[in-house]
Amino acid sequence: MYNNSAKSGGRKPSSRFGSASGNGGFRGGRSGGSSFGSRNNGSRSFSANRFRGPGRGFSGQRRRGGGGFSKSIDPAKFINKAVITEEIENFVPEHKFMDFKIEEPLKRAVVEKGYTDPTPIQDRAIPHILDGADVFGIANTGTGKTAAFLIPLINKVLLGKDEQIMVIAPTRELAIQIDQELKGFVKGMKIHSVCCSGGLPIGAQIRELRFFNNFIIGTPGRIKDLVDKGRIVLSEFKTIVLDEADRMLDMGFVNDMRFIMDKMAKQRQTLFFSATLTPEIETLTKEFLKNPVRISVKNRDTSKNVDQDVVRVGRGNDKLEVLHALLSNEEFDKVLIFGKTKHGVEKLSQVLVQKGFKADSIHGDKNHFKRQRALNLFKDSHVQILVATDVAARGLDIADISHVINFDIPATYEDYVHRIGRTGRGDKKGKALTFVE
């Protein structure tokens, strides 16, 4: 238990268009409402009495819309001390990046990024992807999964300039991040991409799709919309990546995923990545992939680098005051706080700003510009605290997050795994704290 003391010219038009011309206060106490509501009278005592705050405060409405209680997760699962795992610490890759059978321009790009030794998922997956095999990869977040599929697929494009590759991600933030990482690799290679995600103006994406793009990176719903409009012809794609597939299932994208896969070329290479393995993921693997190479470099559900603990808030303690006291400690220098509802996240962010913290928020009610601005301010450490719904829990790579705080208990343990995966990334250490009432 925690004791707190505009692309370049010269692009060729897409073949299906022919030319560049053409179309052109808190909701506390309400069932299913914000988590900032009424007090749970069955709480256990918090060990630090100096955090006892006056009045009712923020204390946790737990019932989820449609039934079920997120607190059914055993709080013991939120306690897991960071350990040194001998097998991982002594991992010796079989390859160097320079050993992979990739084209010289790509090797130079890899060197410019400072890559020398591949991570376990990169070391195991890249050779099979280069060989054209279907791959089902299971790896913790923060282990270099994006580069594990981008590097061999960029090489595939270099070998065949007319190659088109589809990358599907669950959220616009992750899709944008993948597109940005791709662009960082392919400078000067005349490899083009477009990001087609929901929440962004579809007109701009349609204009980009009039030109040939080697990579289309997007979210399932928006890709389906563009297919329905005739702007994307899936049969032209012979390679597809489904990234964070478990999250796409959680978000109800399974039918969109099936729609996309059914219209893809039958002879294709399919890459399927997930941080968790569930029966539903197994079913989709059998449905979408052909004789896949299974690669699992995951020793445990949560990162060995993340020190996990709980903060117990007892009856009579003000949850917000407890949080305030924690955040006032110097070690909490870059903190991602997760809440359950959009309304609650926005309100908590505003309250923290009123208390003198540099805080911002990200949730589904914010438009794309405001979400990206909040993310960039947090990435660049212009704000200390980012308060978020689970939209920020999957795939986002933000450097040097010192702490993840679950102000509201996540709905599932899988959500917990992804939330705390935002800290302790790579070989860095991090801490995760979960408020339990």
Dihedral class, residue 142 (left if φ above 0, else alpha if ψ from -120 to 50, else beta): left
Task: Report residue 24 as tokens.
Answer: 């052109």
Q: Render pLDDT for 339-360 as a digit per residue (tens, 0 to 9).
A: 999 999 999 999 999 999 999 9
What pLDDT band is residue 205 in, cutting at 50, 70 and 90? very high
What pLDDT band is residue 156 in, cutting at 50, 70 and 90? very high
Across 169-275, where does the E strand assignment appear? 193-196, 215-218, 239-242, 269-274
Q: Tell me what the pLDDT averaged over the chain comes to.
A: 80
The domains of the chain are located at: 49-84+302-436, 91-296
Q: What is the pLDDT of residue 167?
A: 98
Across 297-326, average pLDDT: 80
The CATH class, in words, for 49-84+302-436 is alpha beta
| Sequence letter at residue 294 | R
116: pLDDT strictly greater than 60: yes
Question: Same CATH fold, 91-296 and 49-84+302-436?
Answer: yes
List the single range of 14-23, 59-68, 182-191, 227-236 with lowest mean pLDDT. 59-68
The CATH label, of 3.40.50.800, 3.20.20.60, 3.90.1150.10, 3.40.50.300, for the domain at 91-296 is: 3.40.50.300
pTM value? Answer: 0.63
Dihedral class, residue 79 (left if φ above 0, else alpha if ψ from -120 to 50, else beta): beta
- How long a stretch of residues is the chain? 437
> If we measure between CA atoms, which residue out of 417, 370, 174 comes closest to residue 361?
370
What pLDDT band is residue 385 in, cutting at 50, 70 and 90? very high
